Homo-oligomer: A and B are copies of this chain.
Amino acid sequence: MSEGTISRRALLVGLGVAGGAGAMYAAMGALGLAPDRHTDDYAPPQRSDFALKGRAAAKVVILGAGVAGLATAYELGKAGYDCTVLEARDRVGGRNFTIRGGDRVPELDGETQEARFGDGVYFNAGPGRIAQWMVTLDYCRELGIPVEVFVNDNPNAYLFNRGMTTPVRFRQARADTYGYVSELLAKATNAGALDRTVTRSDREVLLDFLSAFGALGDDDVYRASERRGYQTNPGVDAGTLLGPVPSFSETLRYGLGRTVAFPFGYEQAMPMFQPVGGMDAIVNKLADAVGSDRIQVSTRVTKITNLPDGVEVVHSGGSIKADYCVAALPPHILARIPGNLSPQVVGALQSPKPLSAGKIGLEYRRRWWETDDRIFGGITETNLDITHIWYPSYGFNGTRGLVVGYYNLAAAADSYAAMKHVDRRSRAIEQGVHIHGDKYRTELLNSVSIAWRRQPHIEGAWVEWPSYGAAFKLLQEPAGRVYFAGDWLTHLIAWQAGAFDSARKVVTQLHQRVLKEG
């Protein structure tokens, strides 16, 4: 049955009978509850901007072909700027890195892995998801990149904490937790504990909410319901509920706070999205639009010099002079490049600290998480050092599939980074077997791991600023003719949207300067 029933109390509330709702809602509108609109006042530079000003598009050298660098070249290109993008790696994209069969993944001071994934299987080793409010989705639309839903949260996925003998479905943990929280608050309300803070009529509405929220019985007691799931699914027969429910004390030991709140976040709420066929569609389409003749890969920058009338960039293949430079490299890499940036600027670049993150892509010969576990996308949460297991949001019901066997940060990521790939794989499998059993080992075909601190010319997953203070503000302005761009210069660190937003800001600044100064 598709619909729940509505209680009389809820209906009264809904109809606005209870307490002059009309006037109250009007007040709420005035308080700023009106729907937030996507306000975006970015205006891309256009060729026609120059007509009235008697100026011309300038020559710009862009350091780094990650999302920020490519977006800068793409946006400046709309107004005819003469852009050159220098990229130290042998491919565009930076951390937007999708690994497919045949790709080679070298590491600093380490081995080079070669991916052996089958056709159509890919591993988004960097960013993997896009929130619906993020500008990244607008670029997908503008660039003609089809998107599909990324499943960021799935009640059929598991919760597994060290000490458990068997994993628990997230739906069970959630139903039990919400049930007991509702029961406790209902009891406190009925016992008069809220009488001084909540009005009598509000207490009635609260009890009605708690009953629905916790699936409480008429006696306000929590018991097993269909929300926990079934031992045998309903069909011709009614099915058998999973039960009995654990005690409140046991339920607290799920430790659900962090897990349950994760998808409430503005950045992580479902539905999220991914480009069809791999995240690198974004950087590949940007690069196509910029033009391959304007992008020099395998070109390492060795010196950046502000000149009175321009910028000179020396690189592994020669040097280039331009009117302006946009440095879209990680700050810790940029800080190491010689030149004449002031000590204050270099100090600011040294301020944000690179952080560690790692992932492993595990390709399986069959999609046992779908056929055996009925998990179609989503994330299993653990407090093991693998932290998360991601099930793929593409290729549903297909043959092969790729699971992300860990996505971990900080010390856990460092501990995997210190190993050879074969040992990372063994350790990841060993942890996953606790949750999924032997098939997690026996059905494995291929694997590739990434340790972002060990990726050449990147050396970090993202950065953390000690504060959004003076150093952050200093780098929002150009140092002479050198501008800085990247997610690290925004409040959307670790998101491609940050890179896009930063690029737009720099493009606007630079274009306004050119229109004014030439």
> Residues of A with Cβ closer than 8 Å to B?
1-4, 6-7, 10-11, 13-16, 18-19, 21-22, 24-29, 31-39, 132-133, 135, 137, 140-141, 146-149, 151, 153-156, 158, 161-169, 171-172, 174-175, 177-178, 181, 184-185, 187-188, 191, 193-194, 197-199, 202, 205-206, 208-213, 215, 226-227, 229-239, 242-244, 246, 248-250, 252-253, 255-258, 260-262, 264-271, 273, 357, 371-378, 383, 393, 396-397, 409, 462, 468, 476, 489-494, 497-498, 501-502, 505
Contact = CB atoms under 8 A, between A and B. Distances in A.
Contact of A271 (B10, B154, B162, B505): B154
Contacts of A210: 181, 257
A169 to B, nearest CB: 6
25 contacts: A1-B267, A1-B493, A13-B161, A24-B250, A24-B253, A25-B163, A29-B165, A33-B242, A37-B373, A39-B233, A132-B374, A147-B396, A147-B397, A154-B271, A181-B185, A184-B197, A188-B188, A188-B193, A208-B257, A209-B256, A212-B257, A213-B257, A213-B261, A236-B476, A273-B396
A156 B269 CA distance: 9
Given A4-B258, A29-B164, A35-B373, 9 more contacts: A4-B262, A11-B383, A15-B383, A24-B253, A25-B164, A132-B376, A171-B269, A235-B498, A270-B270
Given A38-B372, A185-B188, A202-B249, A235 B172 contact: no
B255 A14 contact: yes
Given A13-B252, A209-B256, A264-B175, A154 B270 contact: yes
A231 B505 contact: no
Name which of A39, A169, A266 has the most chain B CB atoms within 10 A of its CB.
A266
A158 B257 contact: no
A6 B155 CA distance: 21
B35 A491 contact: no
Copies in the complex: 2
A187 B195 CA distance: 12
B14 A246 contact: no
B209 A32 contact: no
Nearest to A15: B162
B502 A236 contact: yes
Contacts of A153: 270
A375 B132 CA distance: 7
Contact of A257 (B26, B209, B237, B494): B209
Contacts of A162: 14-16
B209 A36 contact: no
A264 B188 contact: no
B253 A163 contact: no
Nearest to A209: B257
A478 B132 CA distance: 52
A21 B155 CA distance: 23
A33 B187 contact: no
Given A21-B161, A25-B164, A238-B468, A169 B252 contact: no
B490 A244 contact: no
Contact of A227 (B1, B208, B266, B491): B266
A155 to B, nearest CB: 5
Contacts of A494: 1-2
Given A37-B372, A198-B248, A161 B16 contact: yes
Contacts of A29: 164-166
A41 B428 CA distance: 33
A195 to B, nearest CB: 11
Contacts of A15: 162-163, 383
